[in-house]
Amino acid sequence: MSQLRRTRNRSAGLQRPPAAILVIASIAVAFFALPFIGLLWRIPWSDAWSLLTTKSSLTAIRLSLETSLWATALSIVFGVPLAWVLARYGFPGRRIVRALCLLSLVLPPVVGGVALFAAYGRRGLLGDSLFEWFGLRLPFSTAGVVLAQTFIAMPFLVLTVEAALRGLDHRSEDAARTLGASRWYAFRRVTLPAVRPALIAGAVLAWARALGEFGATITFAGNFPGRTQTMPLSVYLALESNPGQALVLSVVMIGISFGVLLSLRDQWLGGSSTSGGSR
């Protein structure tokens, strides 16, 4: 028994990182943690519930949930086929198409909003036609919010699903084909179930990103309460007029984001898990 304990202690010492690295890493953790602790410290807890349930707060929350869920749905509907094409078909210029579709990941969202204007704005590339054909005016509308959020959030889903599709053994699909499955049936019954964990992870990531979208939304859709004023926008606005409300809304959004990250397994965020090997 004592022999066992000594062995365990020895091996623990073997794996412990050097002190200097521990100190620096701790500073990094504090750097991330302090803003949230500060937020929790500053929050007017006694008024928190009433601030959260003011009409303007509730309107922003409802609008945010609606638009972000729409954006997630659109990201899935268009993102999965896009990921499939990018993962499976070698066509000339694929790298350029891929970079184009993932550009908004690295673009400042405000620039994205300006670009959306150039395409779908009233004087944009498609703005007139959209209005004439469908009676659709995207800028400064709730639909515009959804468009801006989808523009920013979809690449997260595409990246995740594409990686999963690339990693998939195509022989399962081959087997399905020889069993009489059409390409579409094989995709539905074999490919899709195999990438479902990645699809869920991608959708959750995209949803969280859509929920927090600020720059493209305010540029393209403006800031109209009840129509385009989502939670991040109302936080920004309330900061001057009603700092308490801004703090409470911030904490709600942090809570949601934190929950999303915790719910996703490490593997889908590109980090290798050291806790508990898989199976």
Partner 1 sequence: MSINAQFDIQLPEFHLAIELALAEGEVLAVLGPNGSGKSTLLRALCGLQPVDNGKILLNNIVVDDAELATFVLPEQRHVGVMFQNSTLFEYLSVLENVAFGLRARGTKRVVARANATEWLERFSLEQFAQRRPASLSGGQAQRVALARALATNPDVLLLDEPTSALDVRAKAEIRRDLLRLRQQRPVTTLLVTHDPLDAFALADRVIVLEEGRIVQSGALDEVASHPRSRHIADMVGLSLVRGEVRDGALTTASGARLVVPADSPSGPSVASIRPAAVSLHRAEPEGSARNAWKMTVSDLDRHPERVRARLNGPIPLLAELTPAGAEALALNVGDNIWASVKASEVTVTPDLGS
Interface residue list for partner 1 (CB under 8 A): 169, 171-172, 174-182, 185-186, 189-190, 193-194, 196
Distance (Å, whole) CA 25 – CA 207: 30
**Residues ≥6 apart with Cβ < 8 Å to 88:** 165
Residue closer to partner 1 (CB basis): 195 or 203: 195
- Would you mind telling me the total number of residues written for the chain in this entry? 279
Residue closer to partner 1 (CB basis): 186 or 264: 186
Residue closer to partner 1 (CB basis): 162 or 173: 173
Give the count of beta carbons closer than 10 Å to the beta carbon of residue 204. 20
Residue closer to partner 1 (CB basis): 128 or 174: 174
Closest CB 194 distance from partner 1, rounded Å: 6
- Take residue 39 and report the two structure tokens written for it: 């937020």
Closest CB 84 distance from partner 1, rounded Å: 18
Closest CB 92 distance from partner 1, rounded Å: 18
Residue closer to partner 1 (CB basis): 132 or 169: 169
Closest CB 249 distance from partner 1, rounded Å: 40
Distance (Å, whole) CA 68 – CA 74: 10
The answer to whether 192 and 84 are in contact (CB under 8 A) is no
**What does the radius of gyration of the chain's CA atoms come to, in whole angstroms?**
23
Amino acid at 47: D
Closest CB 265 distance from partner 1, rounded Å: 17
Angle separating helix axes 142-167 and 109-120, nearest 10 degrees: 110
